[in-house]
A = this chain, B = another copy of it.
Amino acid sequence: MSEVSADRLTRQVAFIAEADRLKTVLRNTRLTDGSRAENSAEHSWHLALMAVLLAEHAPPDTDISHAVRLLLVHDIVEIDAGDTDCYDADGYLTKAAREQGAAERLFGLLPQEQEREFRALWEEFEAGESAEARYANALDRLQPMLLVRHVTHREWSLRATTREQVLQRMAPVEHGAPGLWPIVTDIIEEAFTTGRIGRID
């Protein structure tokens, strides 16, 4: 093996080992069995699987395999930047700067052209403009709501306090996977009809 390719492989393996830490970044969503908080690595797997399974609900001409790549990479910056809770207004003020720094360090572990490739995937997801990014963002919003709805062994509830707050948060689903929107409106309707709102559990 040449020195160049040995160095390349060393960098790739270093990134793989570092990526392992995404398994320790905890989210606010709990698993459906209620046993513990979900982490961002298993969340990313769940989203990638959903992207394949729900392909028929993606915008026309969406490249599903590309959406899967966006989802595999979309949370890696959280290894340094942490998961910013969607209702944490203060956290959102510093989120962009923290995540930019994280992207620089983490993707900087890779061989140069892969650094560019992976960073571009993350930026595309964040921009949310391509069909693939819109679809990926839709799933990212939908998944926690599905988990909340299916939690067993404990009461489920939505964490928002007003319909407007939930609808605003979930808008990317209507935008990126309109065929899945009825699931969202059903869950919101059920939450507000039965009073399952405003609690964190």
Contacts and interface: CB of A to CB of B under 8 A. Distances in A.
Interface of A: 1, 9, 12-13, 15-17, 19-24, 31-33, 35, 38-39, 41-42, 44-46, 48-50, 52-54, 65, 68-69, 72-73, 110, 114, 118, 143, 146-147, 149-150, 179-180, 182-183
A48 B48 contact: yes
Given A16-B46, A17-B150, A42-B45, 10 more contacts: A1-B182, A9-B180, A12-B53, A16-B49, A16-B143, A17-B147, A20-B32, A21-B31, A22-B45, A53-B114
B46 A73 contact: no
A167 to B, nearest CB: 19
Q: Is the interface of A mostly helix, strand, loop or mixed?
A: helix
Contacts of A179: 9
Nearest to A9: B183
14 contacts: A9-B179, A9-B182, A9-B183, A13-B146, A16-B46, A16-B49, A16-B143, A20-B31, A20-B46, A22-B42, A24-B35, A39-B42, A45-B48, A45-B72
Contacts of A32: 17, 20-21
A152 B52 CA distance: 35
Contacts of A15: 53
Nearest to A33: B24
Nearest to A76: B49
A16 B68 contact: no
Contacts of A16: 46, 49-50, 53, 143, 146
